[in-house]
Amino acid sequence: MQPIPWEAELEYHAVASPASLPTHPSSNTPLPRPQAESISVASVWQMESTEAADRALSGDSGAFVYRRDGHPNERTLADKLALLHGAAGAVITAQGMSAIGAVALATLAPGGQVWIGDELYGKSHKLFCGEMTRWNVTTRPFDVTSAAELAELASRRVDLVLIETLSNPRLRVPDIAAIAAATHAAGGRLMVDNTFATHLICQPLKLGADLVIESLSKQVNGHSDSMLGLVAGNDRGTLKRIQDVVSTFGLASSPLDCYLTHRGLMSLAVRMERACANALALSKALSQHPAVEAVDYPGLPKHPQHPLATQQLRGGYGWMLSFRVNANGGQLQGLLDRLKPEIQFVPSLGDVSTTVSHPASTSHRSLTPAAREQLGIGLGTIRVSCGIEPTDWLVERFLTAVS
């Protein structure tokens, strides 16, 4: 497995540099550059002329006009993430679901055909299998690890395919290059939800994906204090269409959330290194405990896609894992109670602190019990988002709790 590419992270500061520095009003000499990014809370910008307004609103000048159409904090973050994903451009949205929704609204029309991974974040599944049906869009879930279903995908007509780099919550690993080839053979676009990986662990655009989306609220921010989404890609026409949808439907970001996420991005590589190491150590320990029925983590050799994960990922196998215990007789709640107060039950992920979640009652509650069981998501399934605590301490806390 390749290490985290630290040289790419060093480019953060180059992108952060403004094109020109402010100057002192009397001496006209450049003022010192601030070490931290500033927050621009302006909602609207002054226009020098009607011609300037026309150029700004058409996007020709790059000037800011109205926060809904873009703002300085959004621009800085988008430029950085485009660079780090190897993308031609990026769009920042209010949250991860706004990113997926913006792509759907920008690329689909009535009668559209969508394929989605059968194990997907619950709200993503609900968006396409529920809300989009009112737009006369047909969605088919498919097994992203099935060669037979990929062959069928390649033989069909499809407009959009959505998969996850690491599936939520069982951490299955799709062959992104193979799915991209099948999607393109079907005439469609491949969108990859890269939230569980970030650009540090995987860069789907380099594997053939057309669009990559992320919930920046998670590991990129890392502190559970902002909500943002990302869409990155290489087709500028598609990105322009997505940006128009973000503006028209009011899916734009706030300066404060962009500022907080940018601050988290600066420490992402260091946090990711520890979190991935914690997830690997914890998954190994839990897999050997008699009270644990199964552990899902692509870093374990027994994981069905371990060889593919080693080839496709870099710098680690991610900070997320799931495991299953007996949920009868209050054992599940007892386990959650024994993990507290240091490790809390939180229906989210990507914090500096380790948290646990229960997919059946939170992220995947919109699925029927039968559908969850078919995917291997039972009442005893616990999802773990590993933080940056000392590894030995973290492993000991879980082993004590499950005993």
Q: What are phi and psi of 35, to 5 degrees?
A: -70, -35
3-state secondary structure of 331: helix
Of 55, 68, 75, 397, the active-site residue reads 68
Catalytic residue among 170, 218, 274, 383: 218
| Residue of 118, 159, 175, 193 with catalytic role | 193
Helix (H) or strand (E) holding 255: helix 255-265
Catalytic residue among 67, 80, 118, 121: 121
Q: CA separation (Å) from 29 to 14, 20, 34, 36, 209?
A: 22, 12, 15, 21, 46
Active site residue 121: yes
Q: What are the tokens at 392?
A: 């030995």
- Torsion over CA: 107, 112, 117, 118 (sign): positive
Cβ atoms of 384 and 279 within 8 Å: the answer is yes
Contacts 24+ apart (CB under 8 A), 84-87: 84/8, 84/9, 84/11, 84/199, 85/199, 85/203, 85/205, 85/212, 85/232, 86/203, 86/205, 86/206, 87/205, 87/212, 87/232, 87/233, 87/234
- Strand partners for 71: none
The answer to whether the CB of 389 falls within 8 A of the CB of 328 is no
For residue 162, the one-letter residue type is L
Cβ atoms of 260 and 223 within 8 Å: the answer is yes
Contact between 128 and 114 under an 8 Å Cβ cutoff? The reply is: yes
Residues marked active site are found at 68, 121, 193, 218
